[in-house]
Amino acid sequence: MRSLDQHTLLFGVVGTPIGHSLSPAMHNAAFEDKGLNAVYLAFETGDPEGIVSGMRAFKIRGLSVTIPLKTSVIPHLDEVDETAEKIGAVNTIVNNEGRLKGYNTDAMGAAKALEEKTELKDKSCLIIGAGGAARAIGFILKEKGVRLIVANRSVERGEGLARALDCPFVPLERLGNQRVDLLIQTTPVGMHPHVDQSPVQEDILHQGMIVMDIIYNPIETRLLKQAKAGDCLTINGLGMFVYQGAEQFRLWTNMEPPVSAMRRVVEESLVRRQ
């Protein structure tokens, strides 16, 4: 057990709801593996201005940013990384002696998780959702030569993301039987405790399709179960979660992240929650 003192560096995750997050387990395992006097906590809040004020006041060195703050926190930061600015969403904040800079590691995390399973260039992809994660994934996939379609329940938000990505938009309830190589689910639908929900009808899934759900709790969502039953290749949210967290660790500490230790503790935590 690490002892905490006045020299302990403080990190955390902000958003709401936050009770399901495994970021504290993952990052605290990374700190322990590297022998750092640091702790990572969960702060449930939806107040972007308050987050920035608190980060400065309590000298919090780094924050992970999750739903619903990835876009709304941006105007309150001192600086935004070029990639995060282009995406329009931040999931990581670094506090450098009171100057707060936003980054986006979701894009890199998603790309790494997908490229473990498939070549991306010239694939077609249906993105479900229009939030911060959808924006990050859409922009990185577009850069890698993927043809995109956005589907979302809110037409206004979905059309906005589709315009930003210069791709078609389809209302979620009118998906029909779109034929694509990849389907990536970025919404909270199916997340614990609502594990019986799925954002799409089964008839959109076809043999050989690659289906990724960025939810990692549960590790196999209802959508992934449906996809597996339809002979699709499935990718759960664990890889993206660990890879984006590893890049956060690198940004905060300038150290090589202990990816294996981070993945192991997340897997163990998920097993305990089953």
Distance CA 158, CA 127 (A): 10
Torsion of CA 156, 63, 116, 85, to 10 degrees: 50
Burial level of 251, CB count in 10 A (0-12/13-18/19+)?
middle
CB 189 within 8 A of CB 130: no
Q: Which residues pair with 102 in a beta bridge?
A: 80, 93
Integer Rg of the chain from CA:
18
CB 213 within 8 A of CB 223: yes
Catalytic residue among 34, 59, 70, 225: 70
Distance CA 112, CA 257 (A): 15
Tokens of 28: 């605290």
Nearest Cα neighbor of 131 from 72, 173, 83, 177 is: 72
Residue 143: CB atoms within 10 A of its CB come to: 13
What is the CA 257 to chain-centroid distance, rounded?
Answer: 18
Active site (annotated) includes residue 70: yes
Nearest Cα neighbor of 235 from 209, 211, 253, 256 is: 211
Catalytic residues: 70
